[in-house]
Amino acid sequence: MIGRRPTRLAPAVLLASCGCSPGVGDPATPSRVFDASLPSDASATPGDGGGWTTLDAMPVAADGSAADLRLPWGDGQAGVALAVSASPFQCFQLDSLTDDDGVVYVPPDQWGAYCTSCDQRVSVAAGGGLFVLPSRAGTFQPAAALHVRFALRDCVTLTESTTTTDAGAPAVFTVRERPLGPPSTHGTVSLRVIVTPASVFYGPAADAALAAVNDQLSAVGIAATWGEAIRLPATAGSDATFSRSDPDPLLPLLDGTTGTGATIPVVLAGCLLLSDPLAGTPYEPLGYTPHIPGGAGPADAVYIKGSLCGTPQPVAENWTAAAFGRVAAHEIGHYLGLYHSVEADGTTDQLANTGADNLMNYDPSVSTATGLTAEQGEVMRRHPFVSQAP
């Protein structure tokens, strides 16, 4: 153990209570429907494992929502991944999710960062984000087709928004879809490690600390691999002050590459300062993942704090390999679709057998926060960036 214990890890997203509940509703006939069986571009996107279909751009109507997107459900299909982008600085949510029989998985107009009681838990995205369904363990078998509707959200209040882009142009959503099969029992995930100059890992190799990540992930059949760490130039910036609605200050830490394929960028940053109007005073999270799950959107990566904020010279966060492994695996858990097993206010995830004594505790630096469950592994291995073992 070197130096002081890291400070409390802040939640990756703010809590929200939306009071929604899953159930069977009246399958109102959508007035505007895009049928995803007629893609505008069926070509796979290179480098991301293939299988993605780019759908027609969907304009946002005056009420802030796009048309219902009908996604036919194929034989043997067990899930779906949707990579969605909006205009920069526009926040949005998967606002409604039903199927052809009118089963409601996400009722519309649920405000907050995410819905705590919806059948499917989805998170507000800023500028872009990946949505993976189902968000929980177990079977998910919609009738014939899913109906998905995206709608804008106010980035601060997390309620409805009808804002157009900064340039005054109408907003549009662009969607890429990838059907998912059932997750296998084992998989691998590739990390792309980027080290900033102020990180404690800038000099010494980070392999021992990264190996500790696998100490956590191996319990759920996931093996992380990484190549040689990319060290940013000594003159490069290491610090970022950012907010949920403005992740752009994180971009310089990404070595100029985002969305390069099915790898998880892991940025060993310097000072991370998260400013959020609803959270009051800016705070220094030990780790940060912009969206649950990760995989799309601006500044998409896992960020790990490497130095203190507000010091004249960098003061390194003195990670032990074990402590780093727990926090990094926790953030990779978010990236692969896991919510906190328990939040500071007692809110829990959707999974069985997860509690405060789980790696996904909102504060993974507490000594009892260790281990992942079989259901968490099922969710994580469903993520399209996890290569399925044969």
Q: Which stretch binds Zn ion (CB under 5 A): 12-20, 43-51, 207-215, 228-236?
A: 12-20
Within 10 angstroms of residue 320's Cβ, the number of other Cβ atoms is: 16
Q: For residue 379, which phi and psi values (nearest 5 degrees)?
A: -65, -45
Quote the CA–CA distance of 32 and 14 in Å, as a whole number.
32
Q: Report whether 231 contacts 244 (CB < 8 A).
A: no
Q: Which stretch binds Zn ion (CB under 5 A): 6-14, 127-135, 157-165, 217-225?
A: 6-14
Q: Report whether 22 contacts 118 (CB < 8 A).
A: yes
Contacts of 181 (CB under 8 A, 6+ apart): 76, 77, 78, 79, 388
Quote the CA–CA distance of 85 and 173 in Å, as a whole number.
6
* DSSP codes joined into one string, 239-301: -EEEBTTB-GGGGGGGTT--S-SSEEEEEE-S-EEE--GGG-S-B--SEE-SSSS-SSSTT-S
Size of the site for Zn ion (CB under 5 A): 1
Task: List the interface residues with Zn ion, window 99-128 (CB under 5 A).
Answer: none
Q: Which of 2, 6, 8, 12 binds Zn ion (CB under 5 A)?
A: 12
Please report how close the Cβ of residue 321 comes to Zn ion at its closest, in angstroms: 20
Q: Which stretch binds Zn ion (CB under 5 A): 4-12, 115-123, 164-172, 345-353?
A: 4-12
**CB-nearer residue toward Zn ion: 175 or 301:** 301
Please report how close the Cβ of residue 330 comes to Zn ion at its closest, in angstroms: 6
Angle (nearest 5°) at CA 304 between 125 and 221: 80
**CB-nearer residue toward Zn ion: 105 or 303:** 303
Please report how close the Cβ of residue 365 comes to Zn ion at its closest, in angstroms: 11
Quote the CA–CA distance of 299 and 99 in Å, as a whole number.
32
Please report how close the Cβ of residue 85 comes to Zn ion at its closest, in angstroms: 24
* Residue 304 binding Zn ion, by CB under 5 A: no
Strand ranges, E, within 43-102: 53-54, 58-59, 68-72, 79-85, 91-99
Please report how close the Cβ of residue 139 comes to Zn ion at its closest, in angstroms: 27
Q: Which residue is nearest to Zn ion (CB)?
A: 12
**CB-nearer residue toward Zn ion: 202 or 303:** 303
Please report how close the Cβ of residue 114 comes to Zn ion at its closest, in angstroms: 13
Task: List the interface residues with Zn ion, window 331-390 (CB under 5 A).
Answer: none
Please report how close the Cβ of residue 52 comes to Zn ion at its closest, in angstroms: 28
| Positions in the binding site for Zn ion (CB under 5 A) | 12
